[in-house]
């Protein structure tokens, strides 16, 4: 039986950890090849070894997605190594709860740069390559925080950037539909990934994350695999008539607030 992504090629940004790493792993398990893009070459090389030590199915590019040139570099490398681009998991992101009055211009630029500008120009480069291929799928990791403010995690700049990502989904979906390129997003609530360790100590993560279980009507935080199941569906031909959707993958948070 053929696998879902046999002979397909994906670019996964932020593929060195968390949701992106799990997406890259699942895409390869389902028969595809991936280029993982991230800032940290060592982290990418660990991810590559973990997914496919032979390197035949996984290539890496250490680059910052907020640099507009990264999109074209990623597409060129995926084309050189694997023959083209069918799927973009536009996933790289940063998160650190900060109150509105404490946000600096530097913070603001970094959220907008990584999350919105990064996803925008990565999508532009990928869509150009997908047009030549006769179609494709772009799936972005957006965020529940783009739709709801959460008192415990003040995130105005992060949320504004992700609201832009959600708006982008609808615009690109309509513009790229004639080229058979589908554009969708998932909007996760709290997913247990290394991002929480970027602003809390290991002990704090162990203490704080479980307190969020009850925030979700389904009674638990998400795991990367919860989000990746949705990503894989949206990338597959099973979702052939779905474009412009922002799918809550949030244990029921959006339904309850």
Binding mask 23-62 for ligand NAD (x = CB under 6 A): ---------------xxx----------------------
Judged by CB under 6 A, the chain residues 123 through 162 that form the site for ligand NAD are 141, 143
Taking the complex as a whole, the smallest distance from the CB of residue 105 to ligand NAD amounts, in Å, to 17
Give the whole-angstrom CA distance, residue 75 versus residue 69.
10
Q: Which of 17, 33, 48, 184 binds ligand NAD (CB under 6 A)?
A: 17
Complete DSSP assignment for the chain = ---TTTT-EEEEETTTSHHHHHHHHHHHHTT-EEEEEES-HHHHHHHHHHHHTT-SSEEEEE--TTSTHHHHHHHHHHHHHHSS-SEEEE-------B-GGG--HHHHHHHIIIIIIHHHHHHHHHHHHHHHHT-EEEEEE--GGGT---TTS-BHHHHHHHHHHHHHHHHHHHHHGGGTEEEEEEEE--B-SGGGGGTS-HHHHHHHGGGGGGGSTTSS-B-HHHHHHHHHHHHSGGGTT--S-EEEESTTHHHH-
* Residue 200 Cα to chain centre, angstroms: 22
Interface with ligand NAD: number of residues (CB under 6 A) = 28
Q: Which of 33, 91, 98, 243 binds ligand NAD (CB under 6 A)?
A: 91
Known active-site residue 120: no
Taking the complex as a whole, the smallest distance from the CB of residue 23 to ligand NAD amounts, in Å, to 9
Q: Which of 74, 173, 191, 246 binds ligand NAD (CB under 6 A)?
A: 191
Q: Which of 188, 230, 235, 253 binds ligand NAD (CB under 6 A)?
A: 188
Q: Does 90 bind ligand NAD (CB under 6 A)?
A: no
Q: Does 16 bind ligand NAD (CB under 6 A)?
A: yes
Q: What are phi and psi of 72, to 5 degrees?
A: -70, -40
Of 13 and 243, CB closest to ligand NAD: 13
Choose the binding region for ligand NAD from 23-31, 126-134, 189-197, 232-240 (rule: CB under 6 A).
Answer: 189-197
Of 71 and 188, CB closest to ligand NAD: 188
Of 66 and 98, CB closest to ligand NAD: 66
Q: Which residues bind ligand NAD (CB under 6 A)?
A: 13-14, 16-20, 38-40, 64-66, 91-95, 114, 118, 141, 143, 188, 190-191, 193-195
Positions marked catalytic:
158
């Amino acid at each position: 039986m053929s696998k879902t992504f046999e002979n397909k090629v994906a670019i996964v940004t932020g593929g060195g950890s968390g949701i992106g790493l799990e997406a890259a792993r699942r895409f390869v398990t389902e028969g595809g090849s991936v280029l993982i893009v991230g800032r940290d070459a060592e982290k990418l090389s660990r991810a590559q070894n973990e997914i496919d030590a032979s390197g035949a199915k996984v290539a890496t590019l250490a680059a910052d997605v907020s640099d507009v040139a990264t999109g074209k570099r990623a597409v060129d490398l995926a084309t050189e190594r694997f023959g083209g681009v069918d799927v973009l998991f536009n996933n790289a992101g940063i998160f650190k709860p900060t109150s509105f009055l404490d946000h600096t211009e530097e913070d603001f630029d970094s959220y907008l740069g990584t999350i919105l500008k990064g996803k925008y120009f990565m999508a532009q480069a990928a869509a150009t390559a997908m047009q030549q291929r006769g179609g494709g799928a772009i799936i972005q990791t957006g965020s529940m925080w783009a739709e709801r403010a959460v008192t415990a995690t003040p995130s105005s700049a992060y949320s504004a950037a992700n609201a832009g990502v959600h708006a982008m989904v609808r615009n690109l979906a309509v513009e790229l539909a004639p080229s058979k390129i589908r554009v969708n997003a998932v909007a996760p609530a709290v997913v247990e990934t290394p991002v929480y360790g970027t602003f809390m100590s290991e002990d704090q993560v162990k203490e704080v994350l479980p307190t969020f279980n009850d925030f979700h009507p389904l009674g638990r935080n998400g795991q990367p695999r919860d989000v990746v199941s949705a990503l894989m569906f949206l990338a597959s031909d099973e979702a052939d008539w779905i474009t412009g959707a922002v799918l809550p993958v949030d244990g029921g948070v959006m339904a309850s607030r």
